Chain A
Amino acid sequence: MTVLLDVADVTKLFPASGGAGLWTRFRRRLSGGPENVPKVHAVDDVSFAVGKGETVGLVGESGCGKSTLVRALTRLVDVTDGSIKLGARELALKPSRVFARDRDRARVQMVFQDAGESVNPRFTAFAAIADPLRRLRKLRGKALRERVETVAGQCGLPLQLLSRFPHQLSGGQRARVGIARAIAVGPDLLVLDEPTAALDVSVQVVILQLLQRLKIETGMSYLFVSHDLSVVRLLCDRVLVMYLGKIVESGPAREVFEHPLHPYTQALVAAVPRLHESGGERLRLTGEPRSPIDPDPNVCRFYGRCPRGTETCKTTMPALRSFANRQVACHFAEQFLPQPRTAS
């Protein structure tokens, strides 16, 4: 499979200081300039690749950095370090403001979480879908109308709804507008940030099946961010599990969810509610996550919540190691390899 998106060693740090008041700035100067300000390690040295036509899932709890990573990939924020390659093109070099007018801007598009809030309330559905076409494809007049109507048809949005405003549309229709807007310019990579989180199950099914169909029709690659593991399992070929800025496990979606190797993934899978199973004894996570502000580089990020935490975990950060088609960042991954646990 040809690689479409190649992400290497991407790091994103945010300065963590209480506001930008006079006193803070004064203290910062005393303590030796912006280098010495404590930093939130939102994304820490993340590398992965997305193949052409592949659907990759990105899961992890809120605050683990998945949104920051996605915003870095779609070039909405600048990365601190690392490279993001789309085909042969290096995206990380240009500042995000400049990239907004780049010709490759159209190749990476994003579907945001709640279309009710991410579509301009003063734009009709037509205007929302037409906006990126005007800006990036320079379409006008009849060509624009035709393209918008084609895309709306592709997304199952009835043409008579195009003149409506977001508040006049149902949740499912809004989600379709959000998707139509993103695919209008014909991107190679579509980044979906929890596109079904705000929808009812019956509507969620329709949207997921629409996404599946669009992928077959257009051959786009998907990066699907979600914390609903049941959805990721059904839609994605491969899955990346993130915890506090680091990828802790990756591999084919089915295998990862059936035989999770990293203790965090195990807890995540155990926490998914299932209708046909009553809650018995499950792996429970205790404690709060470690602080992402200047974490100790020698301590495993999961230490403290991990049911297996040992002395080694406190002194050495586990590296992401490969096992056949899987990657795991845990010192004890081998223990789970020889006899995969029965499907949970």
Chain B
Amino acid sequence: MTPALAVEGLSVEFRTRSGIVRALENVSFSVAKGETIALVGESGSGKSVTAYAVMGILDPAGRVTAGRAMLGELDLLSAKPKQLAEVRGRKIAMIFQNPRTALNPIRPVGRQIADVLIRHGNVSRRAAPAQAVEMLRAVGITDPARRAKAYPFEMSGGMCQRVMIAIALAAKPSLLIADEPTTGLDVTTQAVIMDLVGDLAKELGMATIFITHDLALAGQRSARIVVMHAGHVVENAPTGELSANPRHPYTAELIAATPDSAQSLDALAAIPGSLPDLRRADLPPCRYAERCPRKIAACASPLPQAKPEATHIVACWNPLPDRNEPAQTVYPKAVSAA
């Protein structure tokens, strides 16, 4: 099956006054049609930069130095701005983190949805407002005709997020990138919003990339989890497999630090150390090596390359033992150091 989006070897640098920040290095993952995957990592791990690079909305200081992001036949990273403008909104859409700041504060929300419909949805100017109201109804806003005339500041955070979802889905995209869509919302609202995104994705057969720092939420809502650390993908596995059988030491520590399943506070384990400074010239090949409890001599050589057919990808020379097949380890095959 052809994936909805395949990111291959994406590297991004930011030029700053204090040096070049190597924010992403060789990030690869793909999302199949209709599939929901989650990008998980702590702040500074490069999850949002990945999304911005794919959308072509990186900060001017940022530069894609290598890699491809294939949306069907089109490489989003080398596409011309005009091509990108055609694709964005129509084929890929994005939900941003803070709905209140991402919406236009001086335009009624119904108009903002209508704008997208006119630009990308082949809807006539006259029909757009009525259809915007329909979109609001579809995302579960009560009294949509009245709400369409409201400004973002008149609505609660949960409602603003619904409007964002309506805008993102207005042109029925085939890929949705949701960047921390429920951060700052209540758990009850979070559940409703995530249900909504999930239901709509199923209805439209849309692929979803869901960016979050909440491993528990990712586990509940996605079929596959991609764990990122300091600009590297450290592990990529189906959700059940990842939570039951984490192979990368960082993933294991992240799970041990998640408070949802712990019995007491003492059972939670903090992750020692912090992210390495990504401006350093002498960054080790494995950016987790300096914090890693399982560090061995091989960690100084370039990271192992995964087999293309592998479903559970671990970027580690000394991963935790596989609990499924203790005898036959399926360590990713080493490629001779280039």
Q: Could you list which residues of chain A lie within 8 angstroms of chain B, going by C-beta atoms? A: 61-63, 170-171, 200-206, 208-209, 212, 227-231, 233-235, 267-268, 270-279, 282, 284-285, 287-288
Q: A201-B42, A279-B220 are in contact. Are A274 and B261 (CB under 8 A)?
A: yes
Q: A209-B265, A212-B265, A275-B243 are in contact. Are A201 and B215 (CB under 8 A)?
A: yes
Q: A61-B186, A62-B186, A209-B270 are in contact. Are A202 and B257 (CB under 8 A)?
A: yes
Q: Is the beta-carbon distance between A276 and B142 smaller than 8 angstroms?
A: no
Residue B253 at the A interface, CB < 8 A?
yes
Q: Which chain B residues lie closer than 8 Å to A271 at the CB level?
A: 187-188, 190-191
Q: Is the beta-carbon distance between B187 and A274 smaller than 8 angstroms?
A: no
Nearest 3 interchain pairs by C-beta: A202-B271, A61-B186, A275-B219
Q: Is the beta-carbon distance between B220 and A277 smaller than 8 angstroms?
A: yes
> Which chain B residues numbered 218 to 277 have a C-beta less than 8 Å away from chain A?
219-221, 239-240, 243-244, 253-255, 257-262, 264-266, 268-271, 274
Q: Which chain B residues lie closer than 8 Å to A273 at the CB level?
A: 187, 190-191, 214, 216-217, 219-221, 260
Q: Which chain B residues lie closer than 8 Å to A235 at the CB level?
A: 265
Residue B34 at the A interface, CB < 8 A?
no
Q: Which chain B residues lie closer than 8 Å to A272 at the CB level?
A: 187, 216, 260
Q: Could you list which residues of chain B lie within 8 angstroms of chain A, going by C-beta atoms? A: 42-43, 142, 156-157, 186-192, 194-195, 198, 213-217, 219-221, 239-240, 243-244, 253-255, 257-262, 264-266, 268-271, 274
Nearest CB of chain A from residue B28's CB, rounded to whole Å:
24
Instruction: From A171, A275, A278, name the one whose CB has the most chain B CB atoms within 10 angstroms.
Output: A275
Q: Which chain A residues lie closer than 8 Å to B190 at the CB level?
A: 271, 273
If A62-B186, A279-B198 are given as contacts, then 19 extra A-B residue pairs at C-beta distance below 8 Å, sorted by A number, are A61-B189, A200-B42, A202-B253, A202-B254, A202-B270, A205-B257, A208-B268, A209-B266, A209-B270, A227-B187, A230-B216, A230-B260, A233-B259, A234-B259, A275-B220, A276-B219, A276-B243, A288-B142, A288-B156
Q: Which chain A residues lie closer than 8 Å to B213 at the CB level?
A: 200-201
In the complex, A271→B185 CA distance in Å? 12
Q: Is the beta-carbon distance between B186 and A201 smaller than 8 angstroms?
A: no
Q: Which chain A residues lie closer than 8 Å to B43 at the CB level?
A: 171, 200
Query: Which of B194, B215, B239, B266 is close to A278, meaning CB atoms less than 8 Å apart?
Result: B239
In the complex, A98→B37 CA distance in Å? 55
Query: Which of A206, A233, A284 is close to B195, meaning CB atoms less than 8 Å apart?
Result: A284
In the complex, A189→B260 CA distance in Å? 27
Query: Which of A61, A204, A277, A287 is close to B259, meaning CB atoms less than 8 Å apart?
Result: A204
Q: Which chain B residues lie closer than 8 Å to A233 at the CB level?
A: 259
Q: A200-B43, A201-B215 are in contact. Are A284 and B192 (CB under 8 A)?
A: yes
Nearest CB of chain A from residue B96's CB, rounded to whole Å:
18
In the complex, A238→B99 CA distance in Å? 34
Nearest CB of chain A from residue B162's CB, rounded to whole Å:
11
In the complex, A209→B191 CA distance in Å? 28
Query: Which of B156, B261, B270 is close to A275, meaning CB atoms less than 8 Å apart?
Result: B261
Can you list 18 pairs linking A and B with CB atoms under 8 Å apart?
A63-B156, A170-B274, A201-B257, A202-B270, A205-B257, A230-B216, A234-B264, A271-B188, A271-B191, A273-B190, A273-B214, A273-B219, A275-B220, A276-B243, A276-B244, A276-B261, A279-B194, A285-B188
Q: Which chain A residues lie closer than 8 Å to B188 at the CB level?
A: 61, 267-268, 271, 285
Query: Which of B42, B142, B269 is close to A287, meaning CB atoms less than 8 Å apart?
Result: B142
Q: Which chain B residues lie closer than 8 Å to A171 at the CB level?
A: 43
In the complex, A320→B235 CA distance in Å? 49
- Give A209's nearest chain B residue, CB to CB: B265
Q: Which chain A residues lie closer than 8 Å to B214 at the CB level?
A: 273
Nearest CB of chain B from residue A278's CB, rounded to whole Å:
6
Nearest CB of chain A from residue B262's CB, rounded to whole Å:
6
Nearest CB of chain B from residue A303's CB, rounded to whole Å:
16
Q: Which chain A residues lie closer than 8 Å to B243 at the CB level?
A: 275-276
Nearest CB of chain A from residue B333's CB, rounded to whole Å:
30
In the complex, A277→B216 CA distance in Å? 9
